[in-house]
């Protein structure tokens, strides 16, 4: 079982996540310069751990020539399998859209140059979709970059756009898929082609039912797997096989040298 998106360096004991609930691999997301350093260090030292490097839209103020130079160097590391998470976030009142867009555009270009997928964060206020529309506008200029729509919201427009964009666009489903109110996310999880689905935790955030309200753990991706398997009337082992193969394909995980 692979957790395709977690913040392993936020855990008190990152090594303890390996192997829990059958976990065999995980991708630690480096969403700022410091977290990118942490992610790469963990990927170098812990078997079954890979990293991404980038600037989260909420941290776009740290985008600078110096930050870009360091992240470009880290992006070439053999244990780094993706860029980001990047994207657009209009949830907060102090959103700095020009800075977010500049960082997003640069990371799209970096992903293209190094040939690794871009992990995309998209978040709006309830009832709004400016960030979702903005992500679609940005991606239209980069049709050949592989992307992962992390913690997919179920937004109908982005779903249609991503499916039409082609097989190098993947949808990541996190623990919030299991929440009673997540009807749009569940509808998307029930209907998208299985070859485009990834499973993730976003640990330590968004713990799935039955762990909701507690700090999330990478191994809890299994709860999301079992929930979606039931939605789709699939054997969980079959869904695990498919989504793990998807993760290995988009990230090129086992084409990289092993840690340890």
In which residue ranges of the chain is pLDDT below 70?
Answer: 255-260
In this predicted structure, what is the pLDDT of residue 195? 98
CA distances to 25, 34, 227, 250 from 245, in Å: 12, 30, 19, 9
Specify if 71 maps to a domain: yes
Q: Which domain holds residue 55?
A: 2-251
Please tell me the total count of domains within the chain: 1
Structure pTM?
0.96
Specify if 258 maps to a domain: no
In this predicted structure, what is the pLDDT of residue 257? 65
Half-sphere exposure of 237 toward its Cβ, with a 13 Å CA cutoff?
A: 0
Specify if 260 maps to a domain: no
In this predicted structure, what is the pLDDT of residue 227? 98
In this predicted structure, what is the pLDDT of residue 245? 97
Specify if 74 maps to a domain: yes
Binding-site annotation, residues:
5, 7, 85, 121, 150, 202
In this predicted structure, what is the pLDDT of residue 250? 98
In this predicted structure, what is the pLDDT of residue 258? 61
Specify if 257 maps to a domain: no
Contact 88, 72 (CB under 8 A): no
In this predicted structure, what is the pLDDT of residue 92? 83
Specify if 137 maps to a domain: yes
In this predicted structure, what is the pLDDT of residue 202? 98
Binding-site annotation, residues for a divalent metal cation:
5, 7, 85, 121, 150, 202
Specify if 256 maps to a domain: no
> At 230, which CATH number?
3.20.20.140
Specify if 121 maps to a domain: yes
């Amino acid at each position: 079982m692979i957790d395709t998106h977690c913040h392993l360096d936020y855990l008190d004991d990152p090594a303890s996540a390996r192997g829990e609930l059958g976990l065999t691999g995980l991708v630690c997301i480096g969403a700022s310069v410091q977290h990118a350093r942490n992610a790469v260090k963990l990927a170098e030292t812990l078997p079954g751990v890979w990293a991404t490097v980038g600037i989260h839209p909420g941290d776009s103020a740290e985008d600078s020539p110096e930050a870009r130079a360091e992240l470009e160097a880290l992006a070439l590391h053999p244990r780094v399998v993706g860029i980001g998470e990047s994207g657009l976030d209009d949830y907060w009142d102090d959103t700095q859209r020009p800075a977010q867009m500049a960082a997003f555009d640069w990371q799209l270009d970096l992903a293209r140059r190094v040939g690794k997928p871009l992990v995309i964060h998209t978040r709006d206020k309830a009832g709004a979709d400016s960030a979702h529309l903005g992500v679609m506008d940005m991606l239209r200029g980069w049709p050949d970059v592989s992307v992962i729509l992390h913690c997919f919201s179920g937004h109908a427009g982005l779903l249609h756009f991503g499916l039409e964009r082609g097989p190098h666009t993947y949808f990541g489903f996190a623990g919030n898929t299991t929440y009673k109110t997540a009807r749009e996310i569940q509808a998307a999880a029930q209907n998208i082609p299985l070859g485009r689905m990834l499973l993730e935790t976003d640990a330590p955030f968004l713990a799935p039912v039955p762990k909701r309200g507690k700090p999330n753990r990478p191994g809890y991706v299994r709860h999301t797997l079992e929930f979606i398997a039931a939605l789709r009337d699939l054997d969980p082992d079959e869904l695990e096989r498919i989504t793990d193969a998807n993760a290995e394909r988009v990230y090129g995980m086992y084409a990289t040298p092993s840690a340890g």
